[in-house]
Structure 1
Amino acid sequence: MNKNMKNIAKNLVRFCTQKPKVVYIILVVLALLFTAQIPRIKIDTDPENMLDAEHPARLFHNVVKTRFAMHDSIVVGVVDTSTENGIFTPSSLTDIYDITQSILSIEGVISADLMSISTVDNISQSESGTIRFEWMMDKPPSTLDESATIRGHLARLPLLQDTLVSQNGKAAAIYVPIKDKNQSYKIAEQIRQNISKLNGNADWYITGLPVAEDQFGVEMFIQMGISAPLAGLTIFILLFFFFRNIPLIIAPMIVAMATVMITMGALIGMGYTVHIMSSMIAIFLMPIAVVDSVHILSEFSDRHKPGAELNETIEEVVGHLFTPMLYTSITSSVGFYSLMLTPIPPVQIFGGFVGTGILLAFLITITFMPSYLSRMNNASLEKLQLVMHSQKGGSRIAKIAKFLGGFALKFKTSLVLSFAVVFAISVWGITQIEINDNPVRWFKKDHEIRVADKVLNENFAGTYDAYVVLSSSNSLLSLDDLLAKDKPTSLASWAAEQVTQLSGQPLSEQYQQLLINIDDKLFSDVSDIQASYLNTTLQNAESALSQSKAFQSPELLAYVESLQDYLKASGLVGKSNSLADVAKVVNRELRSGEQKDYVLPNSPQAVAQTLLQYQSSHRPNDLWHFVTPDYQETLIWLQMTSGDNQDMSSVIALVDEFISQQPLPQNIQLRWAGKAYLNVVWQDNMVAGMLESLIGAFVIVFIMMVLLFRSVVFGVLAMLPLTITITFIYGLIGIIGKDYDMPIAVLSALTLGLSVDFAIHFLERAREVFKQTNDIKQTFDLMFDEPATAITRNALVIAFGFTPLLFAPLVPYITVGIFLASIMAISALVTLLILPAVMTMGKRIVFK
């Protein structure tokens, strides 16, 4: 098999060295063709897209948004701690009024549903048994007394308290519903411009998941344009430090840039959006793409001597490295391709294109590098020899590699025991990992979005939403079935006419109209049999209609109320709003206006009356945010101060606990919706998917290693660095308390793919050298010369290639930068320390 590989490599290299211009032309054409697609880029940072469009949780979430007219909202907050009265001063309330008016005129804002002190109603008693709705603040107050009156009115309305105003009176909020969440950054910028024109002393903040996600997309786009070039510059500087030959190191840079441009161009050209995951493709591929080039340059600089035939040296070097480079590329790509097994579309796209990009980099390397090296002039080659074989050039890396080799062989037993202890501790650390993510925490702590989130959630019940949806299965019979029971023949045509005339309306409205039509029919000339039938049908229809309006039932609303109280007592939910709250407020004002009457009405008819009264307000459609027009479904809006999925999971568990203690009423079902809930769903899917893909890829890579080396022993040895590195990295994550979030999850693929690369090169070369020397000591002396130096160089190139991410303003990029640098350092160290130690201790098995 290796012989065939070498023949393929030899023929390919010979063609490339003889026809370098053909290779150049093909590469330039491909690069230009795919790069031309990049201007069509579309950014997508919506966490909803972490779930498949047909996922049941996502479908239900969107149904709930439509059914209850719930919209993505930007939260604008104002905090005034400069005065005793907080925001309840003429100055602050005037600013709130003015900003609200300016927001209402912004295109893309759903004006009818905007919530602000100046756009909501004050609900009060006009006289006994009647209720009055008037604007809470139809114009800004001119005195402190007027401001205090507004504060008093707000304090009487639980629906608004801690949602629109804080209990301490120091803060107010404006909820800005928007038509398209992809316009949230643009709308937020317009609001910021309007706020900048104010002269007041209050501090203004803008937050909310839609604006956080959209702003992340804007900053992500900027980061893409900064990090990839910086990574390229870092790699260029490192390569110059290693080889001190600019013409030589231009070659791997061309390989890296061509790989990135073609891969990103293909992604965009195929119509995929650039998500937070795929935005990292360029920064991932840039260092990985130069790995094989560094191996070629390292061995070329070591082997090529003055006067030697250039093309023969190139053929020898590439032929020597072709098999290990091919297998390292395949194993790396397998690690990323394994991500396609996850049920998360952006992760699948990321894995697929990085995996393909790695194979593309290998193809470009073995064709372009020989072509390029064959065209180098003698002056550059002589300079390379002078640098590489002097005491100054490259000797530091070589000395480090030699030191590691000596250390590994001298303290082999201690090293193996030490790594065993570290492995055991790491396994325990993995058990401490906590799964958690929150799009707002993708920003640094001092970012305006993060600051706003912290301040507003300290003052209000919470800016994070989740919805508990209760549904009744007491559905109405069709009119045809209702009218068919005991129908006299003489009314057959009348019944058929009712079904035909009313069929285009919702079923509950069909029943309402039928009641009117039956009543009219009874006043006409009908027989006793017909009258009996009509009266019976009338009673059946009224009873069915009453039962179908499940959430006009005081008992069901009492159940909703008890669930709300249970959640409030837990401290996990800042506040909840429901149909029960609406009914209690209106009931209080219809009765005495006193707190003792802040209770649920005692009959379905009384509930219906309170809700009908509520619809007399300036915002009648607000009722349909809490219940559907047929009263078959109701929604409890939960406000939480944290968007972490751990906290959301705790709330879900709390509701399950409540249901176990107080089972759901008969024919009532409970389901979840809301962005905070969707985050939990995709996180759970991601963790399960990542574990499945990691196990699958691990098995595949092990089989590949056994096939490559045609030895189970060498297959196991190749998996040692990978296993130790993955265990250590994830154990460390658990020990230091770092949340297992999306970037951390994806690192498993990179760890698996790259950790085995160094082992393949080390083991392949060690086996070849041993065949030549037949001596273990001499084998490792030679191994810790050029091969170990090349591995060390590669580890440094990849590790430092990711360091520009450490200076990013976005936390996921920083996380990737830190852990990738760590992964490279650890996997290289494990390869150069553990493998020689284990191979020496088990030499009878390894080198039998």
Structure 2
Amino acid sequence: MNLFFDFILKKASLGLTLLLLIAIFFIAQISDFQLDASADSLVLEGDENLRYYQNIKKNYGSDDYLIISYQVKDSLITPKQLDHLRKFKQDLTKINQIRSVTTILDVPLFRSPPLSLAELASENISIDNDNANLALANNEFKNSPLYANNLVSKDGKTTAILVKLKNNQKFKELRENLDKMRTQRANNKLSNDQQLKLKIIEKQVLKNITTQNKIQAQTIAQIRTTINQYSNKAHLFLGGLPMITTDIVTYISNDLIIFSLAVIGLMSLILTIIFKSVRWVIIPIGISIFSSFIMTGILAYLGWKITVISSNFFSLLLVMTLSIVIHLIVRYREISQLNPNINSHQLIKDTLSQMFKPCFFTTLTTFVAFSSLLISGIRPVINFGWIMSIGVIIALVLSFLAFPMIMSLLPKAKITKQKTELRATTLLAKFVEKFGNHLLVILVILLIGSGFGISKLSVENRFINYFKQNTEINQGLTLIDKELGGTIPLEIIFDNLAEDYWFDEDLRNEIHDVHQYLNSLDETGKVLSIDTLMQILTQANDGKTPNGFLLNIIHSQLPERAKVQVLYPYLSENSGQLRMVIRIRETEKELKRGKLIDQIQHHISTELGFKQNSFHLSGMLILYNNMLQSLFDSQIKTITVVFVMIFIMFLFIFKSISLSIIALIPNTLPSLFILGIMGLLNIPLDLMTITISTIAIGIGVDNAIHYIHRFQHEFRKDNDYIATMYRSHTSIGLAMFYTSITVTIGFLILALSNFIPSIYFGVFTAIAMLSALLANLTLLPKLILMIKPKINI
């Protein structure tokens, strides 16, 4: 390595120029950097339910529409308020990308005035047709089996405006072809030529998604502008999946930019306080920024999208690169103080030689930790594992190239006074010597408390809780959830029953029983099915349920507008399916998705007599629940794999079983501690918090490797374990303290985010960093002093 370091230092100008050119190339790609918050990024890849859901959407249409909640103080059904709503709708329809707008003005009415069965086929009653009785319409909206607690709230003061966006038919067909080919690939049914074609289609879809997202964001911005113009006479909130994904991308973008800048600013301030030198601020901050920018450019070049999980990669790379450079700086200053007359070239070379091995091993263990995420089975988690695995390698390479090149081109740094002792680390060393046995008691208490907390850990979280209460998403979702029948859709599909439904009275009664059962559950809001039409027809038939003969006549003669509302979404004659749509209340505090799904399946099959394979539960609730439930398995698998791999790495690094075990024990605590806290505070695992354990382990073992490596080096001087501990605490302990405090404060910045998972990520990662620091400066040296493992010297 010395020859390589000599070469770097001799060719510093050329090397730095090449590094800058490489950096500029990748930075130039950042304009193509993309974020993804679509529903696809929140589901489990390879989930059979996902393929089924995609097929259902082909038959019944997508649930990707916007909902505007329109709330007034008094009644919706007054001439002035209806006129205001009418003008609002007209302005919405002027927006280019809006295909249709459905309101209480244009939906068909069946009881305003009451229509007989015969009149249902001939009359077309609606407010906009100017043939509706407004008093009766007001009553119908509040009590109709179709509109009550769905289109209009029970108190008649809130209504939903359904906004459907225009579809790009070519893109839709391309996406369907992509889904079909991916299914074939999963079943190993694609030839080599077809696999090449699939890659081309994937690139085309990626470009189209980017274009569609930009158009969607512009459309939503236009809708919000229109909403602001009409908020004087109504309380308006925008909701729906397209709006949520667009806003999440905005949150992620803001967090990525604002908090990265905040982390940079805060780290600069901390470095200024620690080193009191412009050089020791600009160099580490500059190298860290370039490392993160290069990784961002690589992602853009490869076409990899950043999701909710990987959105903090930039800040993570900043602090990981900074950690390496701070270790180099601290060692540089130590050597300079011990050898004041050493020339600049030799000083830099000695710094690199002494720090390369521990930094290489720490990077390797961090790489292993993040690589463990590749077995999670959750695509966004896997992608995050790849991003960080590549990123830590870039951090190491750039640090060991840029730092010596820059330092060799600058005059030798004047180190007039190097602080070799920090009160905090010295006190920790004294505590270990005098009260070390207490640490073991603390360890047992922490393990018991963490175990209890972990036993209470769950994945049952509410999507609405991802956003602060003052955000439009939270307020809009809460209003829709409470007043308009729930937010998250659950679908139940009954196969091969559509044709029999019109003739079989027993079947109609059974479907009615299912409908009523679903409607009785606390977690459900609005339930819609073909039974909703039956309830409307029963009202029109003086409270008598129509027989099969009448039903066949009516269903063939219903006006098209009525069929769109009450027939086509719930009965498909082409597929032979009956469909129920149930909206689940996210604001229901006792909601347990997995338990609810099992309960519904059990009741329909056991209590109501439907065969298990004759119906299927589908919808975003199922997909999201499958992904959440997989988090438990993923967490267990990744933590197990990472500990096994790191133990093997320790054996390779330390060449001692006892020392490897000693190094591993303190670094199990941060991850167990974090999981225990989450369980005790009833904070569920989600897509972001699942990665914290891996990060805690990855960075924690870095401290262990640095400490043990320095301990081995210092032990050569006198073979005195206690004296070696003190020297290690005042040397490498100093670098560990500086890096950990910098990282901790940097991550705490995320607590100011509007996105709750980002807040949890920042706070718990900060706690993990502090606990890892304390564990490696207390428990690790105590175990070394107690066991006295053989130190390879």
Given the two structures, how large is their TM-score scaled by the length of structure 1? 0.83
| CA 561–727 in structure 1, closer or farther in 2 if over 3 Å, else same | same
- Note the 1:374-523 alignment, pairs <5 A: 374-378=408-412, 381-382=413-414, 385-389=415-419, 398-472=422-496
**What residue number does 1:251 align with?**
283
Alpha-carbon contact 1:548-1:631 (below 8 Å) kept: no
Q: Helix, strand or coil for the counterpart of 2:617?
A: strand
| CA 71–105 in structure 1, closer or farther in 2 if over 3 Å, else same | farther
Tell me by how many angstroms 1:297 deviates: 0.7
* Runs of 5+ unmatched residues, structure 1: 1-7, 475-546
Tell me by how many angstroms 1:325 deviates: 0.7
Tell me by how many angstroms 1:655 deviates: 0.8
Q: What is the CA–CA distance in structure 2 between the aligned matches of 1:646 and 1:25, rounded to whole Å? A: 58
Q: Helix, strand or coil for the counterpart of 1:135?
A: coil
The match for 2:594 among 649, 652, 657 is: 649
- Note the 1:399-798 alignment, pairs <5 A: 399-472=423-496, 549=500, 553-589=504-540, 591-592=541-542, 596-597=543-544, 599=545, 601-603=546-548, 605-617=549-561, 620=564, 623-630=567-574, 632-642=576-586, 647-662=592-607, 664-665=609-610, 669-798=614-743
Q: CA RMSD in A?
A: 2.5
Pair 1:205 & 2:237 matched: yes
| CA 726–148 in structure 1, closer or farther in 2 if over 3 Å, else same | same
Alpha-carbon contact 1:302-1:388 (below 8 Å) kept: yes
Which amino acid in structure 1 is aligned with residue 539 of structure 2?
R
**What residue number does 1:64 align with?**
56
Q: What is the CA–CA distance in structure 2 between the aligned matches of 1:212 and 1:206, rounded to whole Å? A: 9
Q: Helix, strand or coil for the counterpart of 1:75?
A: strand
| CA 735–410 in structure 1, closer or farther in 2 if over 3 Å, else same | same
Alpha-carbon contact 2:752-2:759 (below 8 Å) kept: yes
Pair 1:115 & 2:102 matched: yes
Q: Helix, strand or coil for the counterpart of 2:668?
A: helix
Kindly provide the CA deviation profile for residues 125-153 of structure 1, in whole angstroms up to 9, marking residues without a partner as x.
54574425423211689xxx954232023
Which amino acid in structure 2 is aligned with residue 193 of structure 1?
T
| CA 401–587 in structure 1, closer or farther in 2 if over 3 Å, else same | same
Worse overlay, 229-238 or 369-378: 369-378
Pair 1:89 & 2:78 matched: yes
* Runs of 5+ unmatched residues, structure 2: 168-211
| CA 247–608 in structure 1, closer or farther in 2 if over 3 Å, else same | same
Q: Helix, strand or coil for the counterpart of 1:468?
A: strand
| CA 736–14 in structure 1, closer or farther in 2 if over 3 Å, else same | same
**What residue number does 2:387 align with?**
353
Worse overlay, 239-248 or 756-765: 239-248
Alpha-carbon contact 1:123-1:586 (below 8 Å) kept: no
Pair 1:42 & 2:31 matched: no
Q: What is the CA–CA distance in structure 2 between the aligned matches of 1:452 and 1:276, rounded to whole Å? A: 21
The match for 2:772 among 822, 827, 833 is: 827
| CA 326–574 in structure 1, closer or farther in 2 if over 3 Å, else same | same
Which amino acid in structure 1 is aligned with residue 153 of structure 2?
S
| CA 212–67 in structure 1, closer or farther in 2 if over 3 Å, else same | same
Q: Helix, strand or coil for the counterpart of 2:694?
A: helix
Tell me by how many angstroms 1:646 deviates: 5.1
**What residue number does 1:487 align with?**
none
Which amino acid in structure 2 is aligned with residue 158 of structure 1?
P
Q: Helix, strand or coil for the counterpart of 1:37?
A: helix
| CA 162–370 in structure 1, closer or farther in 2 if over 3 Å, else same | same
Q: What is the CA–CA distance in structure 1 between the aligned matches of 2:499 and 2:663, rounded to whole Å? A: 66
**What residue number does 1:218 align with?**
250
Alpha-carbon contact 1:336-1:351 (below 8 Å) kept: yes
| CA 90–108 in structure 1, closer or farther in 2 if over 3 Å, else same | same
Kindly provide the CA deviation profile for residues 689-736 of structure 1, in whole angstroms up to 9, marking residues without a partner as x.
232222112211111011110011111111122201111110011011
Pair 1:55 & 2:47 matched: yes
| CA 139–77 in structure 1, closer or farther in 2 if over 3 Å, else same | farther
Which amino acid in structure 1 is aligned with residue 530 of structure 2?
L
Q: What is the CA–CA distance in structure 1 between the aligned matches of 2:417 and 2:264, rounded to whole Å? A: 23
**What residue number does 2:342 align with?**
308
Worse overlay, 746-755 or 823-832: 746-755
Alpha-carbon contact 2:108-2:562 (below 8 Å) kept: yes
The match for 1:26 among 18, 26, 49 is: 18
Pair 1:291 & 2:323 matched: yes
Q: What is the CA–CA distance in structure 2 between the aligned matches of 1:773 and 1:796, rounded to whole Å? A: 31
Which amino acid in structure 2 is aligned with residue 405 of structure 1?
A
Q: Helix, strand or coil for the counterpart of 1:290?
A: helix
Given the two structures, how large is their TM-score scaled by the length of structure 2? 0.89
**What residue number does 2:201 align with?**
none
Aligned residues: 742
Kindly provide the CA deviation profile for residues 204-260 of structure 1, in whole angstroms up to 9, marking residues without a partner as x.
111223311211112322221212122122212211211111123322222211211
Percentage of identical aligned residues: 20
Tell me by how many angstroms 1:301 deviates: 0.7
| CA 159–800 in structure 1, closer or farther in 2 if over 3 Å, else same | same
**What residue number does 1:164 align with?**
151
Q: Helix, strand or coil for the counterpart of 1:87?
A: coil
**What residue number does 1:276 align with?**
308
| CA 128–721 in structure 1, closer or farther in 2 if over 3 Å, else same | closer
Tell me by how many angstroms 1:635 deviates: 0.9
Q: What is the CA–CA distance in structure 2 between the aligned matches of 1:95 and 1:844, rounded to whole Å? A: 81
The match for 2:161 among 133, 158, 174 is: 174
**What residue number does 2:140 align with?**
153
Structure 1 or 2, whichever has the larger Rg, is: 1
Q: What is the CA–CA distance in structure 2 between the aligned matches of 1:350 and 1:809, rounded to whole Å? A: 22
Q: What is the CA–CA distance in structure 2 between the aligned matches of 1:128 and 1:358, rounded to whole Å? A: 71
Tell me by how many angstroms 1:672 deviates: 2.2
Kindly provide the CA deviation profile for residues 67-117 of structure 1, in whole angstroms up to 9, marking residues without a partner as x.
012431211112223x3xx32322222222222333333333342xx4320
**What residue number does 1:17 align with?**
9
The match for 1:317 among 333, 348, 351 is: 351
Pair 1:106 & 2:95 matched: yes
Q: What is the CA–CA distance in structure 2 between the aligned matches of 1:387 and 1:649, rounded to whole Å? A: 62
Alpha-carbon contact 1:48-1:678 (below 8 Å) kept: no
Q: What is the CA–CA distance in structure 2 between the aligned matches of 1:104 and 1:557, rounded to whole Å? A: 39
Worse overlay, 146-155 or 811-820: 146-155
| CA 186–552 in structure 1, closer or farther in 2 if over 3 Å, else same | farther
Q: What is the CA–CA distance in structure 2 between the aligned matches of 1:551 and 1:743, rounded to whole Å? A: 49
Q: Helix, strand or coil for the counterpart of 1:318?
A: helix
Which amino acid in structure 2 is aligned with residue 14 of structure 1?
D
Kindly provide the CA deviation profile for residues 169-190 of structure 1, in whole angstroms up to 9, marking residues without a partner as x.
1211112233468455433332
The match for 2:224 among 178, 192, 196 is: 192
Q: Helix, strand or coil for the counterpart of 2:109?
A: strand
**What residue number does 1:134 align with?**
124
Worse overlay, 809-818 or 414-423: 809-818
Alpha-carbon contact 2:530-2:579 (below 8 Å) kept: yes
Q: What is the CA–CA distance in structure 1 between the aligned matches of 2:464 and 2:37, rounded to whole Å? A: 12
Q: What is the CA–CA distance in structure 2 between the aligned matches of 1:129 and 1:204, rounded to whole Å? A: 39
Alpha-carbon contact 1:74-1:188 (below 8 Å) kept: no
